Amino acid sequence: MKFDILTLFPDMFDGVLNSSILKRAQKEGLINFNITDIRNYCEDKHNQADDYPYGGGVGMVLKPEPIFKAVNDLQLADSQTPVVFLTPQGKTFDQSLAKDLVKKDRLVLLCGHYEGVDQRVRDELVTHEVSIGDYVLTGGELPAMVLVDAISRLVPGVVGSSKSVIQDSFYQGLLDYPQYTRPQEYNSLEVPQVLLSGNHAKIDRWRRKKALEKTLVKRPDLLKEEELSNKDKNLLEE
Ligand code: ADE
């Protein structure tokens, strides 16, 4: 999967893309990044990417020409390639949107800054507007990194085992069940016996029950969307 990132602050991506799982995934050719500095497409002598808003008002607005030129240079032959503008006004990002976007083999992420971007960019180039939550950040770079991380780990092979992706919170509409590792006892706190039993059917039932209970307490809104089978209803009543 290829990510094209358009930003005024390319350095911000260094740490995230060159560490840990994303670094390895690039080495293995599973994902790759093309980061474009929008300023390289500014034609005036000060490399000015923004300007005052028509009609007056506070703040600056990103100019259209550098962004149109930068996107044009990406040669998106395939009009199926989403051009995602990160903005607090967008659709809230969640696991289900990550699952939709990972189906594409290329994604353009446009990071805004200042007060916004010229509306013509949004009307003509942008196909999706995405927010990472109801708060305002200084720019779209952190949100773009959030999307890159969440989507990359859904690319087959990026996370060690596809089982761990399937077991993630939200993947199946539920929060993840509680996890334990060694030691079996720590400061008199014990690992639940069922996990030591070796009985996988029993373990699966326990985990499903715990995931359901946890979701019911912490995120009942998720359970409303999840169709509970009779088996699940019985598990919750046990
Ligand atoms: N840019 C500024 N704040 C944002 C947010 N919450 N989500 C996406 N892009 C943003």
d(CA 179, CA 195): 10
Of the CA atoms within 13 Å of residue 151, those in its CB half-sphere come to 25
**147, 101 in Cβ contact below 8 A?**
yes
Go through 160-182 and write b for each residue having 16 or more CB atoms within 10 A of its CB, e for each that does not. eeeeeeebbbbbebbbbbeeeee
Per-residue pLDDT, 225: 58
Q: Which of 131, 134, 147 to mutate to test the pocket of ligand 1 (most atoms within 8 A of CB)?
A: 131
Q: Collapsing DSSP states into helix, strand and coil, what is residue 56?
A: coil
* Residues within a 6 A CB radius of ligand 1: 86-88, 131-133, 135-137, 139-140, 143
Per-residue pLDDT, 113: 86
| Residue that the structure tokens 């499903």 belong to | 208
* 112 known member of a binding site: yes
Nearest CA to ligand 1 atom 10: 87
pLDDT digits (tens, 9 = 90+) for 139-173: 999 999 999 999 999 999 999 877 778 778 787 78
Nearest CA to ligand 1 atom 7: 131
Per-residue pLDDT, 135: 97
* 136 known member of a binding site: yes
153: annotated active-site residue? yes
Domains of the chain: 2-152 (3.40.1280.10), 168-237 (1.10.1270.20)
115: annotated active-site residue? yes
Per-residue pLDDT, 185: 97
Nearest CA to ligand 1 atom 2: 137
* 203 known member of a binding site: no
205: annotated active-site residue? no
Catalytic residue among 39, 65, 106, 115: 115
Segments in the chain below pLDDT 70: 78, 225-226
Per-residue pLDDT, 173: 85
* 137 known member of a binding site: yes
Is 0.90 exceeded by the ipTM? yes
